[in-house]
Chains A and B, each alone.
Chain A
């Protein structure tokens, strides 16, 4: 009884806290404090070349924060792969019928095409590097779930995934350093004079598509490493 009341109280207090927080945010002074978001909305397409404003904030105005998020994922994947030094793989205690195996086989090409599309069109349509990377990471995860972890690691060895993740992490920083070479800030895109192209075309927006690709392969490989490390057992 006391435990139930405790849980109920926790939920109610969280709800009250969120209500106060959101009502405060909602009642902020509207005219004076949101010049920054108005600048993003009105000038974002001209300054960055990306139609998708979320991507233009994530990979141009606030690209350094994206580097921080990617570093968090890299650290988690590295430490998990380091802490689980087990070579013997353990299957889940489940066997599937042939329907599951065949469906997985025919599903994987579609998942791959969807992931590549979401990554490549990150600056034109909803999506972007993180979502596309997670979609790409579902391929080795599906392989480990249905065919077993041995087959998955035979097809995509852990060393390959580690190398791909490092290529993504280092490539992001090198692309950021390109702007430094031209005499501008780290990860500058439009200000550094990279050709922005026509807004709305596939190859436009300067560095943003390449940053998307780097983040995509980094997130995909990192999540696959985390999943396989968690599945292994002694």
Chain B
């Protein structure tokens, strides 16, 4: 169990750094629900099912929808 937790923590760090340092906004938008899903598994392991449910629904579901809509509606100003 300890090894699983350590692996998940490392993946959490990797996805978080990827979200901040990636060049394209689309990659960051898609990495965000992956970050949320790993966090959900960690919350379930640490026996916080209520927080895990809120995280799964809000971060991985709703916030990603908002981000995708916003990304679709806006243009990259650097390319023009």
Binding site for B on A (CB under 8 A): 4, 7, 11, 52, 54, 92-93, 118, 126-128, 130-131, 134-135, 137-138, 141, 145, 223, 227, 230-231, 233
Instruction: Kindly state the separation between the CA atoms of A131 and B72 in the bound complex, as whole angstroms.
Output: 26
Q: Determine the chain B residues whose CB is within 8 A of the CB of A7 once the complex forms.
A: 20-21
Query: Which of B17, B54, B69 is A231 in contact with, Cβ under 8 Å?
Result: B69
Are the C-beta atoms of A223 and B69 separated by less than 8 Å?
A: no
Are the C-beta atoms of B49 and A227 separated by less than 8 Å?
A: no
Q: Which residue of B lies closest to A130 (CB)?
A: B54
Q: Which residue of A lies closest to B65 (CB)?
A: A141
Instruction: Kindly state the separation between the CA atoms of A73 and B11 in the bound complex, as whole angstroms.
Output: 33
Tell me the B21-65 residues at the A interface (CB within 8 Å).
Answer: 21, 49-50, 52-54, 57-58, 61-62, 65
Q: Known contacts being A227-B66, A230-B70, is A11 close to B57, with CB within 8 Å?
A: no
Instruction: Kindly state the separation between the CA atoms of A169 and B62 in the bound complex, as whole angstroms.
Output: 22
B14, chain A: closest CB distance, angstroms: 13
Q: Determine the chain A residues whose CB is within 8 A of the CB of B62 once the complex forms.
A: 134, 137-138, 141, 223
Are the C-beta atoms of B65 and A131 separated by less than 8 Å?
A: no
A-B Cβ contacts below 8 A, count? 44
Instruction: Kindly state the separation between the CA atoms of A7 and B16 in the bound complex, as whole angstroms.
Output: 13
Are the C-beta atoms of A131 and B70 separated by less than 8 Å?
A: no
Instruction: Kindly state the separation between the CA atoms of A130 and B55 in the bound complex, as whole angstroms.
Output: 11
Binding site for A on B (CB under 8 A): 17, 20-21, 49-50, 52-54, 57-58, 61-62, 65-66, 69-70, 72-73
Give me 7 A-to-B residue pairs in the complex whose CB atoms sit less than 8 angstroms apart, sorted by A's number. Answer: A54-B50, A118-B53, A127-B53, A135-B57, A227-B65, A227-B69, A230-B70
Q: Determine the chain B residues whose CB is within 8 A of the CB of A135 once the complex forms.
A: 57
Are the C-beta atoms of A131 and B73 separated by less than 8 Å?
A: no
Instruction: Kindly state the separation between the CA atoms of A205 and B53 in the bound complex, as whole angstroms.
Output: 22
Q: Which residue of A lies closest to B16 (CB)?
A: A11
B42, chain A: closest CB distance, angstroms: 15
Q: Determine the chain B residues whose CB is within 8 A of the CB of A138 once the complex forms.
A: 61-62
- Given contact pairs A93-B72, A141-B65, enumerate 16 new A-B contacts (beta carbons under 8 Å): A4-B21, A92-B72, A126-B49, A126-B50, A127-B53, A131-B50, A131-B54, A134-B57, A134-B62, A135-B57, A137-B62, A138-B62, A141-B62, A227-B65, A227-B69, A230-B70
Are the C-beta atoms of A11 and B53 separated by less than 8 Å?
A: no
